[in-house]
């Protein structure tokens, strides 16, 4: 392991971070001490590390304020088209380091803390992750906010301020145990509550049809209280807003039948209303169909649309300048992007507002709605598709059900006219699924109600600018300048250094330094070998994992109710217990389950890994985002031809990625022929041995039957047909191992991978969304820097 850079070396590095001017540093120290004193009400005798973190966060935050206000003023003055990204998840992680990087303050803060005898990295570690997401969908939303600000788009993220984000995963006796993520316990220095913008959101009630329109009456009101978080662009003085809604019971909640006993109960019942924003549903790619979740979805949509329309009304086309708001201009001024079907209610809600409240004719309102909304699809897995029971809608959102029926009636009329007599097609394309319990197909609603639908695979992408990439950035910087930070395509320029010995050494060294970065995990790095040493029968599961050759670090979070996933975690930890204590295997292989995977942990382990396993059965992963992050950070990929792996292979070249297994066509053909796991089990002795060992309690000697159900699943009802890819996977791993023994050739492939990452920049993706979906032009112009002290 190479020696880590000392603090001094770190500061001396050629850096693309901001220059640390002396004035800057003394001002930061003054500001820091002021916050410690006045904001935290502490002195250095009693201050805790968390107090220091808060003092630093408040110091850095001050540099955002002027830029934030200026940016928002600029939007009101210039009145550009605004884009609203509505998402039930924003997986933001930590804000401090990202803010310092985007504002070019990192070096100065580092130096200021050093001079005060504090270690900035330790303080950064005190920040709670904002874990308001499950995985790729939520992290993509977070990256997109960063990119929209960096591209100077007038953009807003709208979501829910969950009091509890994604659960904290503990592994206890090998099992996953969930703990509540009380991320707001110590306060959140990055958010600003805006009670003055509170909005009412209605639920339940009934509809009344009058000659002058429909009224939704006798509803229960919950208030949506916004909290704003600044989203700084990369060194362009733009600061956009992420507005997250928190549920508040109105003061008269349940107090209508006031009496003394009722009063106490009514106050206690306020919790029921406020539960709407209590907790993020920990389901990734899975639809649970709970009433509270539908409430969350409508809650964010209703509050957000009120805000959008309020802002539109004070724009040029709003009521200030002309007698009546000209809603026909809404699609010219507003783009609404739906992150999956979760905010699909935006479509019927916009129709309700336009038709019932603003009194527009249906056709006109529909045209406006379709031209305003666009939808991103994230999955094709049937268990993930949202299909809400009509009965639940009738009860919770009666007016919206009527509107959806009307949208469907008109939609089916068009299809019937186009395909007369094609009843099957009508059933297939209907928004309402008949048969058994009637359900609303939210994906169909989104497709019909949007002018653009995109899948994530082709244009899915990820981001560079976080500092975890700094060592790579420095080396790339020396060779190709620093413009690639804004334009990731310029990484292609690295290709010409692929035979440059010094460059190869530098890149390899970066990985060594990264290994050190994960030393907090107390990992011992060992020499490569296949874990099959003992059993001679490697077994692999389909989960996100990466393998630093070796040790192997699987990570995975199972939804609390997902039994099979939890059993797989137990199996992994059980395999670890056996392998890690096996005297024959010794130190050559370790299986270390990474507990509580989250944005911050990803930032540490992704740059330190050599091999990324992206091994979903072809056709089941819409895109994947981890795959791109690994690639950008210099890991090679072993994977199937699925999701974004396909494009990664195109960009890096087939020679520079380890592709194995069935293609989508092979999977289809196998489905037709019939998949029988026992054929593979009988034919492949290594596979048989591994499965028999699992079934026979080799990894669970105290409970020999523990994993029988996993084996039963693999042998008899494995819809992912894992065994069909097994043989090819093992062969491919052998190629990986052979190449890994030749560091120079390995590193050359790493260079081709890094060089091929341009397509996966979220800046590039957002520029494409802006032009092709939102009709907006990204600008790389900077706003003038404000005087922070004003």
From the CB of 789, what's the least distance to ligand D6G, in Å?
Answer: 17
Span near ligand D6G by CB under 6 A; candidates 66-74, 132-140, 256-264, 726-734? 66-74
From the CB of 308, what's the least distance to ligand D6G, in Å?
Answer: 10
Buried b (16+ CB within 10 A) or exposed e, 689-725: bbbebbbebbbbeeeeebbeebbebbbeebebbbbbb
From the CB of 80, what's the least distance to ligand D6G, in Å?
Answer: 12
Single out the residue of 163, 228, 402, 621 in contact with ligand D6G (rule: CB under 6 A). 228
From the CB of 128, what's the least distance to ligand D6G, in Å?
Answer: 21
Contacts of 674 (CB under 8 A, 6+ apart): none
**589-648 residues near ligand D6G, rule: CB under 6 A:** none
From the CB of 68, what's the least distance to ligand D6G, in Å?
Answer: 5
**And the tokens for 132?**
């308001």
Span near ligand D6G by CB under 6 A; candidates 64-72, 338-346, 624-632, 680-688? 64-72
Give whichever of 68 and 183 is closer to ligand D6G, judged by the CB atom. 68
**193-222 residues near ligand D6G, rule: CB under 6 A:** 194
Give whichever of 696 and 786 is closer to ligand D6G, judged by the CB atom. 786
* By CB under 6 A, residue 241 contacts ligand D6G: yes
Single out the residue of 33, 72, 275, 283 in contact with ligand D6G (rule: CB under 6 A). 72
Instruction: Please tell me the distance from the alpha carbon of residue 632 to that of residue 463, in angstroms, as a whole number.
Output: 9
Q: Would you say 549 and 638 are in contact if contact means Cβ atoms under 8 Å apart?
A: no
From the CB of 93, what's the least distance to ligand D6G, in Å?
Answer: 21
Span near ligand D6G by CB under 6 A; candidates 65-73, 216-224, 542-550, 581-589? 65-73
Instruction: Please tell me the distance from the alpha carbon of residue 652 to that of residue 636, in angstroms, as a whole number.
Output: 10
Give whichever of 193 and 532 is closer to ligand D6G, judged by the CB atom. 193
* By CB under 6 A, residue 191 contacts ligand D6G: no
Going by C-alpha positions, the residue among 249, 198, 206 that lies closest to residue 224 is 198
Beta bridge partners of 322: none
Helix (H, G, I), strand (E, B), or coil: what is residue 562?
coil
Sheet with 658-659, edge to edge strand ranges: 552-554, 545-547, 611-614, 636-639, 658-659
Span near ligand D6G by CB under 6 A; candidates 67-75, 110-118, 270-278, 290-298? 67-75
Give whichever of 69 and 267 is closer to ligand D6G, judged by the CB atom. 69
* By CB under 6 A, residue 506 contacts ligand D6G: no
Buried b (16+ CB within 10 A) or exposed e, 529-543: ebbbbebebbbbbbb
* By CB under 6 A, residue 68 contacts ligand D6G: yes
Give 215-234 as a DSSP string.
EEESPEEEEEEEEEEEEE-S
* By CB under 6 A, residue 192 contacts ligand D6G: yes
Single out the residue of 5, 69, 394, 517 in contact with ligand D6G (rule: CB under 6 A). 69
Q: Would you say 239 and 67 are in contact if contact means Cβ atoms under 8 Å apart?
A: yes
Cα 139–Cα 132–Cα 282 angle in degrees, nearest 5: 100
* By CB under 6 A, residue 304 contacts ligand D6G: no
Helix (H, G, I), strand (E, B), or coil: what is residue 171?
strand
From the CB of 746, what's the least distance to ligand D6G, in Å?
Answer: 48
Q: Would you say 128 and 170 are in contact if contact means Cβ atoms under 8 Å apart?
A: no
Give whichever of 228 and 402 is closer to ligand D6G, judged by the CB atom. 228
From the CB of 72, what's the least distance to ligand D6G, in Å?
Answer: 4
Q: Would you say 356 and 399 are in contact if contact means Cβ atoms under 8 Å apart?
A: yes
Give whichever of 145 and 504 is closer to ligand D6G, judged by the CB atom. 145
- Four-point Cα dihedral 407, 369, 394, 376, nearest 10: 100
Give 635-683 as a DSSP string.
-EEEE-S-TTHHHHHHHH-GGGSEE-S--HHHHHHHHHH---HHHHHHH
| Nearest residue to ligand D6G, by Cβ distance, number only | 228
* By CB under 6 A, residue 451 contacts ligand D6G: no
**306-365 residues near ligand D6G, rule: CB under 6 A:** 311
For ligand D6G, the binding residues (CB under 6 A) are 68-69, 72, 192, 194, 228, 241, 311
């Amino acid at each position: 392991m190479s020696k880590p850079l000392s603090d001094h070396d770190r500061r001396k590095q050629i850096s693309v971070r901001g220059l640390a001017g002396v004035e800057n540093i003394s001002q930061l120290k003054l500001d820091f001490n002021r916050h410690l004193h006045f904001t935290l009400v502490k002195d250095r005798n009693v201050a805790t590390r968390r107090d220091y973190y808060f003092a630093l966060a408040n110091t850095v935050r001050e540099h955002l304020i002027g830029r934030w206000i200026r940016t928002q003023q600029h939007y009101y003055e210039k009145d550009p088209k605004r884009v609203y990204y509505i998402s039930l998840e924003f997986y933001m992680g930590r804000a401090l380091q990202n803010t310092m990087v985007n504002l070019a303050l990192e070096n100065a803060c580092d130096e200021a803390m050093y001079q005060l005898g504090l270690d900035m990295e330790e303080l950064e570690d005190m920040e709670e992750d904002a874990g308001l997401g499950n995985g790729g969908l939520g992290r993509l939303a977070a990256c997109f906010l960063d990119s929209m600000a960096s591209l100077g788009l007038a953009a807003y993220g709208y979501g829910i301020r969950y009091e509890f984000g994604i659960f904290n995963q503990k592994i206890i006796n090998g099992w996953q145990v969930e703990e509540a993520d009380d991320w707001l316990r110590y306060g959140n220095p990055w958010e600003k509550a805006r009670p003055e913008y509170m909005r009412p959101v209605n639920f339940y009630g009934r509809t009344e049809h009058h000659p002058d329109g429909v009224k939704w009456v006798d509803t229960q009101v919950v208030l949506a209280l916004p909290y704003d978080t600044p989203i700084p662009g990369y060194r362009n003085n733009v600061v956009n807003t992420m507005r997250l809604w928190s549920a508040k019971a109105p003061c008269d909640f349940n107090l209508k039948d006031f009496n003394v006993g009722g009063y106490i109960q009514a106050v206690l019942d306020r919790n029921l209303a406020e539960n709407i924003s209590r907790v993020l549903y920990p389901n990734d790619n899975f639809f649970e169909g709970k009433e509270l979740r539908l409430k969350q979805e409508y809650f964010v949509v209703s509050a957000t649309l009120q805000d959008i329309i309020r802002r539109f009304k004070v724009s040029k086309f709003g009521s200030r300048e002309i007698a009546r708001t000209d809603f026909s201009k809404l699609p010219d001024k507003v783009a609404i992007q739906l992150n999956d079907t979760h905010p699909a209610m935006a479509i019927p809600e916009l129709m309700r507002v336009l038709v019932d409240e603003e009194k527009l004719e249906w056709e006109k309102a529909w045209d406006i709605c379709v031209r305003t909304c666009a939808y991103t699809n994230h999955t094709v897995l049937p268990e993930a598709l949202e299909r809400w029971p009509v009965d639940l809608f009738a009860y919770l959102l009666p007016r919206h059900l009527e509107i959806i029926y009307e949208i469907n009636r008109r939609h089916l009329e068009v299809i019937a006219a186009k395909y007369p007599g094609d009843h099957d097609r009508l059933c297939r394309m209907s928004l309402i699924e008949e048969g058994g319990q009637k359900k609303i197909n939210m994906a169909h609603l989104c497709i019909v109600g949007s002018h653009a639908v995109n899948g994530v695979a082709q244009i899915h992408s990820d981001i560079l600018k976080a500092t975890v990439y700094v060592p790579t950035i420095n080396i790339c910087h020396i060779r190709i300048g620093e413009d690639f930070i804004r334009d990731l395509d310029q990484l292609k320029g690295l290709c010409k250094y692929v035979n440059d010995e010094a460059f190869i050494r530098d890149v390899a060294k970066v990985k060594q330094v990264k290994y050190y970065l994960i030393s907090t995990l107390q990992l011992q790095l060992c020499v490569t070998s296949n874990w099959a040493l003992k059993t001679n029968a490697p077994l692999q599961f389909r989960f996100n994992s990466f393998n630093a050759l070796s040790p192997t670090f699987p990570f995975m979070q199972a939804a609390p109710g997902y039994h099979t996933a939890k059993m797989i975690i137990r199996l992994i930890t059980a395999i670890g217990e056996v392998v890690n204590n096996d005297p024959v295997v010794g130190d050559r292989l370790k299986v270390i389950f990474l507990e509580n995977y989250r944005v911050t942990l990803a930032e540490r382990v992704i740059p330190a890994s050599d091999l990324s396993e992206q091994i979903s059965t072809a056709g089941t992963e819409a895109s994947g985002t981890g795959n791109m992050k690994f690639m950008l950070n210099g890991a090679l990929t072993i994977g199937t031809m699925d999701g974004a792996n396909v494009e990664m292979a195109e960009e890096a070249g087939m020679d520079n990625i380890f592709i194995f297994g069935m293609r989508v066509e092979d999977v289809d053909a196998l489905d037709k022929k019939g998949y029988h796991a026992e054929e593979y089990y009988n034919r492949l002795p290594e596979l048989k041995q591994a499965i028999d060992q699992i079934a026979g309690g080799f990894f669970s000697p105290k409970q020999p039957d523990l994993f029988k159900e996993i084996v039963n699943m693999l042998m008899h009802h494995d819809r992912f047909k894992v065994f069909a890819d097994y043989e090819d996977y093992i062969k491919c791993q052998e190629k990986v191992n052979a190449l890994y023994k030749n560091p120079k050739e390995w590193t050359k492939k790493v260079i081709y991978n890094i060089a091929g990452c341009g397509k996966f920049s979220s800046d590039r993706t957002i520029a494409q969304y802006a032009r092709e979906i939102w009709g907006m032009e990204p600008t790389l112009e900077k706003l003038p820097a404000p005087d922070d002290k004003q």
